[in-house]
A and B are shown apart, each in its own frame.
Chain A
């Protein structure tokens, strides 16, 4: 009896320890970036492009990277949205009764989600060369969009899945065509969650460095057209950190702080929107995590829908 309790207690201690390790890791990361980045962060850093000798510690800022990153992620998110919205609608309106096919599609999307961003980078590079583009904002946007599309589709898919079936059926019976229904009914119901999905994808897009390493290039000026190369925040962090000069390294920390702040603001925004406006207080992130359980239940779901169909036939 004693040993049973001791074993439980030992593991309890280990559990609390593990949890605190994770919390400490979180605090350490946030803290170190804040402490190292804050002193160097200045108005100048945020509002100026690098001047001559910037990379030797002279004046200027990272406005080029901030604006470049925003351009890039906005473009990529927009491009991804154009693809992701129709696809996820298509899945949930036209394919809603084809469970097996839907499972295959979701499976593929999740596989795509798991592909490392450096592979997307290499692939984007291949496309870029194939179409005769040079390193440019456009090439970067396409690459990042490829990388974000599966994430966005799955996030939206999770939103659309929760729209009650009855609603769709009523809309159908009123005689509207399928596409009309799709866009009107669905979209009104789920706008806040869709916005959240888009914001989350934006956060992903702005933070990733490996995929754009090959395709965007890097310049000290703000790009004026899609065909010009552009600087980005993650790469600014990376390049400045590899400099041997301490002042430049400090700027890397400040840039990292800026990047983290942008991402925090975005995810906070996403959280607020998904919590406030949505009727069901639906949290996309949690739903997306549930996809694993979803796989587990595939067989059950399938049987269930089969039974339902049988019933309705009788």
Chain B
């Protein structure tokens, strides 16, 4: 039992060390600053600049969060404060099923619905687009992280004691004022951390994004440009990487970056909810 536990406990460390050891070959030959901020990605010429991929990842993640966060917040408030109880009961399986749909299926739906949609609306913004863009990736991601964020938010709002609501109402505040000034404020650490967790989830998501984002090694200038996020880079090149050791090492370094970023957001978010309980 203890052995199993120890094994599980050391897993984060093992993953980190494993990825790091594999990236040493690359790190020995390049400075880390150079790797993170260089814009040239030519594996055959030994040029490994991760900048375009990192920027793409940030773009896609931000787009997803900007879409998902307000929708989730509004829905969570609606479901916990306004709607009838049975409606929440109906919504629970819907959220659970959304959470259980595999990411390739989200990718398929993205290709079927979102990509053509983006392609048709692109001309409105004066752009011609195939639809395989950052925006498509963001939209697909936002649907994927919605059940994740929503579940947390619902739980947080449900856990606010009724007495707090009653206290505000008995001072003559309307229901909306109570929500706006008291409930949201009370829930704010939870809201922040749920968004943080959503970000970390979005940042590491691979398949669905890979299928709709275009995968062009170029620094995206707006949401209607194609992008090439880190996870997609790793997933797309797994076949070739064995032949060139440096390439292999570079992709492992990519995984290491992902790991560190996701871990960082996870830790920050979870600290927020424990430590930021000022009130």
Contacts and interface: CB of A to CB of B under 8 A. Distances in A.
B181 interface: no
A15 B8 contact: no
B164 interface: no
Interface in A138-192: 146, 149-150, 153
Interface in A93-121: 94, 105, 107-112, 114-121
Interface size class of A (residues with CB under 8 A): 35 or more
Interface string A1-21: 000110110011011111101
A89 B79 CA distance: 36
Interface stretch (A29-37, A44-52, A221-229, A303-311): A29-37
Interface in B1-53: 1-2, 4-5, 7-9, 11-12, 14-15, 18-19, 22
A21 B71 CA distance: 8
A195 B69 CA distance: 34
A28 interface: yes
A17 B14 CA distance: 45
Given A8-B176, A234-B104, A296 B75 contact: no
A220 to B, nearest CB: 17
A14 B105 contact: no
Contacts of A241: 107-108, 111, 211
Contacts of A108: 8-9, 12
A209 B15 contact: no
Contacts of A14: 74
Interface in B161-194: 174-177, 189-190, 193-194
27 contacts: A4-B176, A8-B174, A18-B71, A22-B94, A25-B143, A29-B106, A83-B4, A83-B7, A87-B8, A112-B11, A114-B262, A115-B15, A116-B203, A116-B204, A116-B205, A118-B231, A123-B15, A203-B100, A206-B102, A207-B102, A213-B235, A213-B238, A234-B104, A237-B108, A256-B105, A260-B101, A296-B273
A200 B215 CA distance: 32
Given A15-B75, A238-B211, A296-B277, A29 B109 contact: yes
Interface in B71-110: 71-72, 74-75, 77-79, 82-83, 91-98, 100-109
Contacts of B266: 110-111, 114
B267 A116 contact: no
B234 A122 contact: yes
Determine the main DSSP class of B at the interface with A: helix
B8 A149 contact: yes
Contact of B262 (A89, A116, A146, A293): A116
B151 interface: yes
Contact of B1 (A86, A116, A119): A86
**Considering the complex of A and B, which 10 residue pairs feature the smallest CB-CB distances, nearest first?**
A116-B204, A207-B102, A8-B176, A15-B78, A122-B255, A210-B206, A18-B74, A90-B1, A86-B1, A114-B266
A125 B242 CA distance: 11
Interface in A252-282: 252-253, 256, 259-260, 263-264, 267, 271
Contacts of B204: 115-119
Contacts of A208: 102-103
B15 A119 contact: yes
A26 interface: yes
Contacts of A36: 112
B235 A119 contact: no
